[in-house]
Structure 1
Amino acid sequence: MKIRRVLATAVALAVTTPAALLSVSPAYADAKPAAQTQEKQSKPTIEELEEAAAEAQKAYDKAAQAKAAGIIETQKTLDELSNGTHPLAVALAAAKQTAKDAAAAKATADQAVTDAKTALEALPGTATEEEKAAAKTALAEAEATAATAATAQTAADTAATEAGKKVQDARVAAVNAQSVLDKAAEDALAVKTAADAALAKAIKEAEEGEEDGEGEDCEPELDLTSKVTGLPDTLVAGTSTDFSLRVTNGSDRHMDEVLTFVSVHATDKSGLKDTEKFFRLQWSTKSAPKWQNADADDYIEGVGALKPGAHADVKLRLTLDKATPAGNGVAFFAADFFNEDGSCGGAPDLDMYEFDVKAAGSKPGKTEDVKPSTTPRPGNTGTTPQGSASGTPASTGSLAATGSSSATTSIALAGGAAVLLGAAAVFVVRRRKTGADA
């Protein structure tokens, strides 16, 4: 039996989805405040998950329709720019013709200058002063006309260049606008997929609960703590970092089995691309000294039983592949216990640690151990605010509204998205059956 912590779905969704997506439809905008103020009940019901999934479907349908309409409009714009019927293309054609005419006028003026010089040089020695003056005047007038023609040609060429740039900019703008619509549809599909998965998981757990018999909720245990030391605030791709997690039973009761929960997530600098696939987390304990791989969101065994006041250390190693993009990362830690008599519980909050990720070959510079910020499980009815690495509380609502790509914003979004989509880190525990691990 394990407490089902499924925060990973919400976090992965939040750190890969722009804040604006959560308000892609009025229904999302309406649902968000209730989730962010944590006025929901202790855990989302299947009916609420069904509603969230339905809203996610509506948002995706709307984004897909916008994408389809955008494709038609984009192709129309590109065709008109190419075949010359677009207003900017028409203006470009006119500018090119003006430049062509200006070039012809300058060529004619330059020839007139040449002819005037030839005529002046060809005057015989017997030419009168009046004839010489007339030839000089003709040359001066031809040179003035040529200068005016040169100025006109320069202006016409500049206008044609600017008109051509406007046409090219319009092509780029059309393609970029379509890219935005494509990305919005992609993100909406990710939200829909997460919502559907959360609903399916809740239904499955409900069915498993019925099969196992009457369930029993675990209780919060504030005196079961998990503290991380040695995790720097900056990690570099292509390197490994060793740190430790100390689990302490500060209560006055014996705990038969203690497990630690670990969840690591990361994105690139944009906050849109999930990069945790480049991360590898390993663990070892005194009872299991050999390094073992841990999933991105999983329980780590090996702590065993803890007497009142006792503690145990878990060694952790986080390795980043050389291909890991620069960006932001966040790690969650918590501890839970289970007793043979069926009682169970754990820390109601997840300790959150934020860190920066630098590209391979970078120097980490001066680093410090990251400080934890407790982030309530969305199902928790407590009032502890989510905070940044500095320990300063951060308002989920204000962060979500800014669309900031910082790790703090990502986790703030997770608080809202988790409840909205049902991917909350809640206690969903059933009484242990003999030989069964729910």
Structure 2
Amino acid sequence: MKIRRIAATAVAAAVTAPALFLSAVPAFADTKPATGASQTVDAPIEQLELAVKAAQAKYEAAVAAHTKATADALVILKDEKHPLAVAAKEALQASKDAAAAKTAADAALATADAALADAEKALAELSDEATEEESTKAKEAVDAAKVKAAAAKTDADAAKVTADTKAAAATAAKTDLANARAAAFQTISAAEKNMDEAKKALDTAKKALADAEKALEGDDCVVDKDLSTSLTGPSKIAPGSSGVFTFRITNKGTTTFEEVGGGAVAFRTDVWSDDLKVSWSSVNSPKWQPVVLGDEEEEGGFFSSGAKLAGGKSFDFKLKVDVNSKATPGEGMVMGFGARVSADGSCGEATEYSQATFRIGKPAKPGSGNDNGTNGGHSDNGSTGGSNSGNGNSTPQGGTSTTPVNTTSSGSLANTGAGPSALPFALAGGAAVVLGAGAMVMVRRRKAGMGA
């Protein structure tokens, strides 16, 4: 059934949403929203299109990097004119020349030593009958041989030092070239890995978009401009406590909705963590129930009024955000998505979702769960919504309201700019895909009830 497929697609997208939308961060504003600021994000399909565009750009950049790395490596590996290759070749030749010079010096030393030995032998073999002139001449020959031998020894020692130095230089140059070639291979490998990962991310983004578009083909669930939402609540929640937000769904039209509801999610916008949990209640469902977005069969992941909503009226849900006692100070966000079901079984989704930011930190006063101030956002042309004392009270609340619809300025996203502060918007994009499944669950339950 079409509805089941859409729900499955939306929930499946939740698994890949963080990676997809973080890859699309450059499409969002680089200004971090202040706590309490109203923000809106475009429809999930548009977010998926942005994710595909960003993933395509990353893939193209990865391909270009791989191409450059390969070209650079080929130069180092094959080009004999590369500076390192030239240096290695020259150093090797210098080492060979020095080795040859050392060999020649050693040969000269050997010759000088042999001449000295011969001169000393001749002197020793002089007979007692040798004249003084012969004796003097033999001694002078020995002295001259000693001088030559000493000079040859000096030359040989110097040649050895030079040969050793040149050999070390040749080894170093050879090592530099080998290291550069190894680094080139590593660069190619890393670039290839990045290219493969970018391709997988692109394929995942394209599949998510294709699945979402296929799921929406011919479906009767539409964006309903008469359906608006608002979200208000505390501006600070202390670790180990909870904050209660009011999520209001307003029927701005004249036709009565058979049922309204939606989904919600809370997360940290500064770090990845599971510090935040959300539960909901209303006047018709006073018991707190967890909001866990998972398999489409887990209908407890979405909430419903279980009652009609007349035109011009509102229905309030309470969203309780529990903060882990070990959570570190930082920033958090809770978002709610509204949907409705009409008498004919058709469904509609709010144009945008509502979100509220809050600080995670110590309470203002000992014993208090969170600040008493309120903050929140709304969908376009939505109601400012109900207020909440922000005392962390866990008593379920809710109900309908005839509060007039007040038109206020909604936040918007810039087309350029990026930075670490864009994390909330990236996460929000993924959540929007998930929350769209709420309308499908309501329709499925409504149709099942009608057929019983």
Q: TM-score range by the shorter chain?
A: 0.5 to 0.7
User: How far does the alpha carbon of each residue in 1:250-296 deviate from its partner, in whole angstroms, 9 at most, with x for none?
Assistant: 57889977643447999xxxxxxxxx9xx999979898999x9999x
Within 1, Cα distance between the matches of 2:323 and 2:353?
A: 20
Q: CA 1:257 to 1:74, structure 2 compared with 1: closer, same or farther past 3 Å?
A: same
- Indicate conservation of the 8 Å contact 1:246/1:314, yes or no: yes
Q: CA 1:89 to 1:179, structure 2 compared with 1: closer, same or farther past 3 Å?
A: same
1:175 to 175, 182, 203: 182
Q: CA 1:423 to 1:178, structure 2 compared with 1: closer, same or farther past 3 Å?
A: farther
Within 2, Cα distance between the matches of 1:311 and 1:48?
A: 30
Aligned to 2:444: 435
TM-score computed with the length of structure 2 as normaliser: 0.51
Q: CA 1:264 to 1:153, structure 2 compared with 1: closer, same or farther past 3 Å?
A: farther
1:249 has 2:245 as partner: yes
Equivalent pairs, count = 328
Aligned to 1:195: 202
1:98 has 2:97 as partner: yes
TM-score computed with the length of structure 1 as normaliser: 0.52
Aligned to 2:135: 128
Within 1, Cα distance between the matches of 2:318 and 2:23?
A: 37
Within 2, Cα distance between the matches of 1:150 and 1:143?
A: 11
Aligned to 1:165, the other structure's residue is in SS state helix
1:157 has 2:164 as partner: yes
Deviation of 1:65 (Å): 4.1
1:76 to 75, 78, 84: 78
Q: Tell me which structure has the larger Cα radius of gyration.
A: 2
Q: CA 1:317 to 1:136, structure 2 compared with 1: closer, same or farther past 3 Å?
A: farther
Aligned to 2:223, the other structure's residue is in SS state coil
- Indicate conservation of the 8 Å contact 2:276/2:321, yes or no: no
Deviation of 1:8 (Å): 0.5
Within 2, Cα distance between the matches of 1:53 and 1:134?
A: 89
Q: CA 1:227 to 1:173, structure 2 compared with 1: closer, same or farther past 3 Å?
A: farther
User: How far does the alpha carbon of each residue in 1:130-177 deviate from its partner, in whole angstroms, 9 at most, with x for none?
Assistant: 542442233123212321332232123212221222122112212312
Within 1, Cα distance between the matches of 2:262 and 2:221?
A: 22
Within 1, Cα distance between the matches of 2:229 and 2:289?
A: 30
User: How far does the alpha carbon of each residue in 1:379-404 deviate from its partner, in whole angstroms, 9 at most, with x for none?
Assistant: x984799xxxxxxxxx965x6xxxxx
Deviation of 1:64 (Å): 5.0
Deviation of 1:332 (Å): 6.8
Aligned to 2:212, the other structure's residue is in SS state helix
Within 1, Cα distance between the matches of 2:356 and 2:288?
A: 27
User: How far does the alpha carbon of each residue in 1:62-103 deviate from its partner, in whole angstroms, 9 at most, with x for none?
Assistant: 4454455566556536xx79xxxx544532442342232133
Within 1, Cα distance between the matches of 2:22 and 2:52?
A: 20
Within 2, Cα distance between the matches of 1:182 and 1:426?
A: 37
1:223 has 2:232 as partner: yes
User: How far does the alpha carbon of each residue in 1:92-116 deviate from its partner, in whole angstroms, 9 at most, with x for none?
Assistant: 4423422321331342244245335
Letter in 2 for 1:202: L
For structure 1, list consecutive stretches of 5 or more residues without a partner in the other structure.
Answer: 15-21, 23-31, 231-243, 267-275, 319-329, 354-375, 386-394, 400-407
Q: CA 1:247 to 1:334, structure 2 compared with 1: closer, same or farther past 3 Å?
A: same
1:42 has 2:42 as partner: yes
Q: CA 1:36 to 1:262, structure 2 compared with 1: closer, same or farther past 3 Å?
A: closer
For structure 2, list consecutive stretches of 5 or more residues without a partner in the other structure.
Answer: 1-6, 32-39, 129-133, 251-259, 281-286, 306-314, 342-347, 361-376, 378-408, 447-452
- Indicate conservation of the 8 Å contact 1:284/1:315, yes or no: no
- Indicate conservation of the 8 Å contact 1:258/1:338, yes or no: yes
Within 2, Cα distance between the matches of 1:76 and 1:88?
A: 15
Matches within 5 A, 1:131-146: 131-146=138-153
Matches within 5 A, 1:223-372: 223-224=232-233, 229-230=238-239, 244=240, 246-249=242-245, 259-262=264-267, 312=320, 314=322, 316=324, 334-336=334-336, 347-348=354-355
- Indicate conservation of the 8 Å contact 1:259/1:300, yes or no: no
Letter in 2 for 1:107: D
Within 1, Cα distance between the matches of 2:119 and 2:338?
A: 112
Letter in 1 for 2:265: T
- Indicate conservation of the 8 Å contact 1:67/1:181, yes or no: yes
Q: Cα RMSD over matched residues?
A: 5.8
2:154 to 147, 158, 164: 147
Within 1, Cα distance between the matches of 2:321 and 2:20?
A: 28
Aligned to 1:348, the other structure's residue is in SS state strand
Within 1, Cα distance between the matches of 2:269 and 2:322?
A: 16
